[in-house]
Amino acid sequence: MAVTVRIPTPLQRLTNGQAEVQCDGSTVSDLLFDLEKRYPGIKERICDEQGKLRRFVNVFVNEEDIRFMQGDQTAVKAGDEVSIIPAIAGG
Amino acid sequence: MSYMIGLKCRECGRLYPKEVVFVCEYCFGGVEVDYDYDAIRRVLTKTALAARPKSLWRYRELLPIEGDPTVGLFSGFTPLFRAERLAEALGVEELYIKDDSVSHPSLSFKDRVVSIALTRAKELEFDTVACASTGNLANSVAALAARAGLKRYIFIPADLEMGKIIGSLIYRPTLVAVEGTYDEVNRLCAEIGAKYPWAFVNINIRPYYAEGSKTYGFEIAEQLGWRVPQHIVVPAAGGSLITKIAKAFKELKRLGLLEDASTKLYCAQAAGCSPIVNTIQARSDIVKPVKPNTIAKSLAIGNPADGYYATKTVLESGGWAEAVTDDEIIEAMKLLAETEGVFTETAGGVTAAAAKKLIEQGIIPKDESIVICITGNGLKTQEPLMNRLGQAARIKPTLASFESELASQLADVSVRQK
């Protein structure tokens, strides 16, 4: 029951250069836990000491920002695509 | 001669070389250019500045380039003028407008950031530049990249105003209209940028790009005779400009060019997209994203990257924030035009309307100096003004037709005696 997780460039060194990896879990939080099991060290880069997503990290499930859903408790299922993207300037 | 030392994470302070690095690998904080201020202090003096051309490049020591500027040589140094009629309408004593609606070449303050971004992109040996834009950045990248001979890919939300679409297409970029909000365009561009070897001005070369906004602040201080106003009202989309104006004043003070850099900064947003105003008014440090719905499309960023820093900057300065409705935006655009002859875009209406509200609420005192930041041109956002400005009097080419159509207005005009 794999979910595709897209890894931002700065973290691809931790995933052996892979831009996309497969993880398991029923929520975003679970996925991050599984991601850490597969690629040790990656979670502390995405989450702060309290385990909360860092201020400048945006997570999208199937292109929707999880802050418009249930945050890191947002449900995910097999076939979903999750993107981890740094905050971006614009205008 | 460059005074740029390297890049530094704004959050954790980690250092990076002056290459294509845009977020801290460790904490995802944005990285910012670090300069050798002691060396700059020796060369950037008021006397030296007085002899330089009137463009944004007069402050080049404080801009992140290695060699000579190559793009946007005529951008910047837009008018700052005293707005007496608008001051009277708002009941204040000392009001100025900093007017980037006449910026060369693309009529918005984005020419500042793009001049720096493209000069730097050439130094970093990119042959293609790109951006995600709510319109003004698109116009500026399209125009300046054309003149710089760079290939250009421009990504915009599909529902932009016609003026912004034509104002990009004319320069023959590859214009991509994405069916979605700006925030969706931006997310897509982050993924495209990770795959294609282009300089996305607002993504992978953002640390250089963002520094260009400081020139808006440098100019305000210099044009006021090396002082800062007590209050500045600034529009916010991603929230970068307001932080860079504050940074500009701090840098000038550090270099001894300003005695006092304390100014209160006020953030202006549309009520239909006010994530930063909401955060400031709640005195929070968590910026909650929103789904934009406003005529001020150039400010319609629901997930502002610099929202956190903008909030911090405003609150630390002792300033505040205000959001305004679409109607208030249009009324303020009209007021600015009728009193000062400035035709600004909807974003300028946001700024002027927010200033008006903050003055009426007594938050900005009536007897202190105020600068209103006008950052874009009204010819680009005409749609919301349709049916809001009345009609031209339509007549036949005869004196009789003129006099009958305008009879009521001519009634008390005395005619020339023979």
Cβ–Cβ contact A41 with B under 8 A: no
Q: Domains (ranges, CATH) in chain A?
A: 3-86 (3.10.20.30)
Q: What is the DSSP letter of B306?
A: T
Q: Tell me the chain A residues in contact with residue B289 when contact means C-beta distances shorter than 8 Å.
A: 65, 67-68
Complex-level ipTM:
0.85
Cβ partners under 8 Å of residue B46, min gap 6:
B226, B257
Best interface-test mutation with A: which of B22, B28, B202 has the largest number of A CBs within 10 A? B28
Q: Tell me the chain A residues in contact with residue B243 when contact means C-beta distances shorter than 8 Å.
A: none
> B26-35, B349-358, B395-404: which has the minimum mean pLDDT?
B26-35
When computed from its CA atoms, the radius of gyration of chain A, rounded to whole angstroms, is: 12
The per-residue pLDDT for B194 is 86
Nearest residue of chain A to residue B28 (CA atoms): A56
Any domain includes B130: no
Q: What's the structural domain count of chain B?
A: 1
- Chain B residues with at least one Cβ partner in A under 8 Å: 11, 22-30, 110, 132-134, 136-137, 182-184, 186-187, 189-191, 194, 202-203, 206, 209-210, 237-238, 240, 288-289, 291, 298, 301, 303, 305-306, 308
Any domain includes B111: no
Reply yes or no: is the peptide bond before residue B17 cis, omega within 30 of 0. Answer: no
Any domain includes B175: no
The per-residue pLDDT for A51 is 87
Domain limits at B289?
80-106+211-385
Alpha helices in B255-365 (DSSP H): 275-281, 307-317, 326-340, 346-360
pLDDT digits (tens, 9 = 90+) for B117-166: 999 999 999 999 999 999 999 999 999 999 999 999 999 999 999 999 99
Give yes or no for a contact between B315 and B283, defined as CB atoms under 8 angstroms apart: yes
The first and second tokens of residue B65, run together, are 């380039």
d(CA A37, CA B285): 31
3-class SS of residue B370? strand
Strand order in the sheet with A81-86: A20-23, A3-6, A81-86, A57-61, A64-65
Nearest residue of chain A to residue B135 (CA atoms): A91
Any domain includes B52: no
d(CA B152, CA B200): 10
pLDDT at B299 over 80: yes
- Domain of B297: which CATH number? 3.40.50.1100
d(CA B303, CA B182): 9
Nearest residue to B350 (alpha-carbon basis) of B369, B376, B370: B376
Any domain includes B47: no
> B27-31, B46-50, B185-189: which has the minimum mean pLDDT?
B27-31
Q: How confident is the model at residue A56 (pLDDT cuts 50, 70, 90)?
A: confident
3-class SS of residue B304? coil
